[in-house]
Structure 1
Amino acid sequence: MTQTATLPATVTSGRDRLVLAVLLTASFTLAVDFSILNVALPVIGADVGLALADLQWIATAFALFAAGFTLLFGRVADLAGRRRMFLAGIALLGVSSLAGGLATGPVLLLAARVAQGLATAAVTPAALSLLTTSFPEGPRRERALGLNGALMAAGFTTGAILGGVLTDLLSWRWAFFVNVAVAAVVLAVAPLVLAESRPARRPRLDVPGAVTVTGGLLAVVLGLTSAGEHGWAAPRTWGALVAGIVLLAAFAAIERRVAAPLVPVRILGRRRVAWGNLAGMLAFATETSLVFLLTIYLQEVLGRTPLAAGLSFAVLGLGTVLGGILGPKVIARLAHPPKALALGLAVQAAATLPLVFLGSTSAWLPVLLAATFLGGVANLVAIVGFLVTATSGLPDSDQGLAAGLATMSQQIGITLGIPLMSAVVGAVLATLGTGSPDTVLTAVRTAIAVNTALTALTAVAVRLALPSPRR
């Protein structure tokens, strides 16, 4: 019997720590990439020749492909090998980041962001499935998933801070070059510590399903992004959303008929998988969009600089790390992961509620910091509950699929949350007709109220749909 097999369930071996370090470093880096360029967008546009109206494509090009290809690449990882897909994605991340850092024109820069999105879609589900297959169900897996969730959520906040620091002290190009160094280290260490993982029987690739679900997700995310920029009535918004719905409906029909579906109906028929992924998507959407709303508040209402606004979220980052540590403990105490998921969302809603009453003076900063810290802790408890809920109780042959679904949910949540809240802000500003700080404050408070209500309703829905088992 090996040393690892004789360890208690709560003890982690040295090799396990290396596996965790490699996988979590990759996941954290990819999470940072979602937001690291946001603060620097005007500077980047001036350097590479992108017009102000086109700056949002630096973020959208990444998010579109990261969300749209996740499910497909999760299944390809089951076919080709999860370690192989992980390493290929990390290599693509390094090359594309080098290209982005050296870009002098918009074409190369946007192509690099597309490639970074594809790398994210390849690496994230592979890393999550390697994590779940490396640790058996129980406290060790829950702890690993807790750390993964904490770093994924903290990465979004860290990206905003790091982007401001790098842009002010060095150059926005270092936001790309940092990835090159991380990719080199991971590629050097990962082959030594990661074992190949794939199902004993390789499934066939469902090509029609892959085409329709990828196209549908791309269209939906594009439509939601357009809603935040142009409003819900714009032809490009509803046209993309209708196309996405049609393609996803076709995907659902295909999955019921093919012999080897990309997403077996039996998986989605599991209540914990379906509700866990829905709640996880909303957990990511509400918290990342709250960061967006508070960034507007800090800069447009209180007059803070981008760097100062980014540093204000350091408290939120600490809360997410603490929540990732507490998440497995809460699950162990409640003995029912969906209950921890619902509890985390409920506390997150309660912590966000005071922000609905934000005022126009700096006296509200202590309230903001306390609320975001507590909300960050609760959000990570919910995210850990989501990851455990959505990936437990499944055989290893389905872990790549479950990981792909979970990863897709978190990336779509990160992608759609900001456009949705931006659409609320835009609708209020259009109704009031001015862009004064008082009007912006009203719009932000309205969007925060919607955010709070959505979080609370999700908590109630999960609690009702996934009740604790009878003893």
Structure 2
Amino acid sequence: MTQTTLTRAGRPAPAAAPAGREAPGDARRWWGLAVLGLSQLIVLLDGTVVNIALPSAQADLGIGDGARQWVITSYALAFGGLLLLGGRIADLVGRKRTFLTGVAGFGLASAVGGAADGAGMLFAGRALQGAFAALIVPAAMSLLTTTFTDPRERGRAFGVFGAIAGAGAAAGLLIGGLVTQYLDWRWCMYIAVPVEVVVLIAAVPLLSDTGRRAGGRLDVPGAVLGTAGLAAIVYGLGEAESRGWGDPLVLGLPAGGVLLLAAFVLWQARTPHPLLPLRILRDRRRAGALLTAGLAPVAMFGVFLFMTYYLQVVLGYSAVRTGLAFLPLTLAMITGSTQLAARLVPFVAPRTIVVPGLLTAATGLLVLAQAGTGTPYATRVLPGLVLLGLGMGSTMMTVMATATAGVDPQDAGVTSAMVSTAQQVGGAVGTSVLNSVAAGATQGWLAGHPGAPVTEATVHGSSTALWWVAGLLVLTAVPAGILLRSGGPRQGAGRA
């Protein structure tokens, strides 16, 4: 067992850099962080950049209303469904090698989508983007985890990485508006190609890996069960808005997905080479961090969904102005991540940051829920977005650092993938439920107010959904406060 030296404060002292590894202050590692952050930015940006461009792409390629959601769903399904597999591949094949493969593949997939001459080719390009993103994200996070081990540097590194991750989705809306309005929707896909070329060139000299896990094997049955289960749940709930909650497909697929995931857990407990070693989940703090990572992003998904429509349809904003309206949210998330959480993580228990962060974000949602058809942006939307950004930025940075702290190097990739999987799947499931809540509230309001403007009913439905997600964040703060009671998981807590 490795012996750990403690400082007078009782915290692990930074270990001396092994031969061939950079010292903790080596500037090259911080340039490597910039490369990892840029790759994370483009992956998350591509998750939202097509939202504003979707009407133009639909008209250009003749995509029917019943199929247009696949432009978004194909990316989310491939990304969320394959993250665990991508994390284990990173652990077995090598993190740097997996990262480079994912970056190259993502660039090629973006070119395919941008050159699409029909709906099928665009859907395929988006699905390939999601599949290669499932390689990039866990490899990048595990490289970050194994590179920055000093508590102070780790907090700073995760603060920067978390801010970039949080900014990606909001930046996608702004860039999507600019590109769609002044260029062409295809550039929403092409934009990733030159960025990934830069990342690929810079990553080769700047990133280093601790090696691969000797004697490991890929758990193919586990990969099939886990990926199929997640995909069934996300796809089934994603169809709820168009088909209705009573549709056999909407009811059957999530139920089947739950059964597949139960079989996945049973298989992981029995196989000698599991895709997801269950020992990772035995630490109370890591389990609490993953639970929070799955529930908190529902707030961001819901705000992007409802506030984009509110700004463009109700307030009459253009695509570019809508993107600009989200910038305060981005800046607030960066501030919460780098200036609040990153400074506190090395010194306080995670719940000291996460619980106030969740409550602050919930307060922001309640402010946004008060916005009406004639409400000025500055009096309701702006303060709501700022509060939401501060709360979510500090919460998600702390959750990422806590979930990946103390895990053994051979499990770093799959642990990182668990964080991203929780975010993607939780957000996708939450969005489907919120859509249903908003639709029901809208229809109920119209039934009780015959002849009233549709925009007023829509605002009522969106406000109702925002109240629900604010309540979810308050409820999430309870287990977070119980489980995240001390610093990050113990070093080696992930060991068998």
- TM-score, normalised via structure 1 length: 0.94
Task: Work out whether residues 199 and 396 of structure 1, in 8 Å CA contact, stay in contact via their aligned partners in 2.
Answer: no
CA distance in 1, matches of 2:357, 2:190: 36
Q: Does 1:459 align with 2:473?
A: no
Cα deviation per residue 1:85-125 (whole Å; 9 max; x = unaligned)?
11111111111111111111111111100100001111000
Supply the AA of the counterpart residue of 1:74.
Answer: G
Give 1:74 shift: 0.4
Query: Which of 410, 415, 433 is the equivalent residue of 2:423?
Result: 410
Matched residues, number: 465
Please tell me the root mean square deviation across aligned C-alpha atoms, in Å.
2.0
| Residue 175 of structure 1, CA deviation | 1.1
**One-letter code of the match for 1:53?**
G
Structure 2 counterpart of 1:450? 468
Aligned to 2:54: 41
Are the aligned partners of 2:367 and 2:383 in contact in 1 as well (CA < 8 Å)? no
* Aligned residue in 2 for 1:345: 358
Q: 2:345 aligns with which of 331, 334, 350?
A: 331
Residue in structure 1 matching 2:159, options 118, 138, 146? 146
Q: Which amino acid aligns with 1:421?
A: L
Contact 1:330 1:381 in 2 (8 A): no
Q: Distance in 2 between matches of 1:69 and 1:359?
A: 40
Change (3 A) 1:198 1:221: farther
Contact 2:445 2:460 in 1 (8 A): no
Pairing of 1:69-468 with structure 2 (within 5 A): 69-326=82-339, 327-333=341-347, 335-363=348-376, 365-433=378-446, 436-468=454-486
Which one-letter code corresponds to 1:295 in the other structure? T
Cα drift, residue 202 of structure 1:
4.2
Letter in 1 for 2:403: A
CA contact (8 A) 1:338 1:389 kept: no
Counterparts of 1:131 and 1:414, CA distance in 2: 24
Q: Distance in 1 between matches of 2:277 and 2:21?
A: 33
| Structure 1, 295-304 or 27-36: larger mean CA deviation | 295-304
Q: 2: distance between equivalents of 1:77 and 1:36?
A: 27
1:304 to partner: Cα distance? 2.6
Counterpart of 2:158, as a letter, is: L
| Cα drift, residue 199 of structure 1 | 4.5
1:314-334, Cα deviation, whole Å (9 max, x unpaired): 11111111112122113235x
Taking structure 1 as reference, are residues 468 and 272 closer, same or farther at Cα in structure 2, changes over 3 Å only?
A: closer
Q: Indicate if the aligned counterparts of 1:40 and 1:172 stay in contact, CA closer than 8 A.
A: yes
Unpaired stretches in structure 1, ≥5 consecutive residues: none
Question: Conserved in 1, the CA contact under 8 Å of 2:350 and 2:485?
Answer: no
Q: 2:50–2:176: 8 Å Cα contact kept in structure 1?
A: yes
Which structure carries more helix by proportion? 1
Distance (Å, rounded) in 2 between the aligned partners of 1:163 and 1:72 = 30
Q: 1:255-300: per-residue Cα shift (whole Å, max 9, x none)?
A: 1111122112221121122211110122222122112111222233
- Between the aligned partners of 1:35 and 1:48, the Cα distance in structure 2 is 19
Structure 1 residues 390-412: Cα deviation after superposition (integer angstroms, max 9, x where no partner): 11122212211211111211222
The CA distance in 2 between the partners of 1:183 and 1:306, in whole Å, is 26
Q: Distance in 2 between matches of 1:228 and 1:339?
A: 37
Q: CA deviation at 1:204?
A: 2.2
> In 1, Cα distance between the equivalents of 2:486 and 2:110?
46
Q: 1:381 to 1:121 in 2, by over 3 A?
A: same
State the shift of 1:198 in Å. 3.8
**TM-fit CA distance, 1:145:** 1.2
- CA shift, 1:137, in A, is 4.2
What is the TM-score of this pair, normalised by structure 2? 0.89
Segments of 4+ moved more than 6 angstroms:
1-7
Amino acid at match of 1:439: A
The alpha-carbon deviation at position 465 of structure 1 amounts to: 2.8
Q: Which amino acid aligns with 2:460?
A: T
1:62 is displaced (CA, Å) by 0.4
Deviation, 1:459, is: 1.1
